[in-house]
Amino acid sequence: MTHASHDLAAPAADPIGFNDFLKVDIRVGTVVEAAEFPEARKPAYKLAIDFGPTLGTRRSSAQLTEHYSPEALVGRQVAAVVNFPPRQIGKYMSEVLTLGFADEGGAVVLFSPDRRVPDGSRLF
């Protein structure tokens, strides 16, 4: 997880059409592996996330070290953008963007369903 500003005072983004929203493929998956990623510039974990039979398991580098241990992540469902191009992070290829929100201190809090849903389910 990197990316956009964590600034709570930032105005809302420019309006988009519904078809633009549909271009972003956000799916839920279950973390099946989580490991330290000491080579990352910012503290992060390497995740393997199972998105079900259609998409399979994809890898992600995620800056979740503030609130989560690798052991706490395994078995947890998370949301991720699955249709960005893969991104090289050091020697690791991150295939999906795991989604979260910044807390008051800027640390990432995961975005996930409040009930278990089938892996691979798409956000709408």
Higher pLDDT, 3 or 79: 79
Work out the average pLDDT over 81-100. Answer: 95
Q: How is 23-74 classified by DSSP, letter by letter?
A: HS-EEEEEEEEEEE-TTSSS--EEEEEE-HHHH-EEEEEE--TTT--HHHHT
- Tell me which CATH code domain 22-110 carries: 2.40.50.140
Chain-centre distance for alpha carbon 103 = 15
For the stretch 31-61, pLDDT in tens is 999 999 988 889 999 999 999 999 999 999 9
pLDDT, averaged across the chain: 92
Domains in the chain: boundaries: 22-110
pLDDT of residue 6: 60
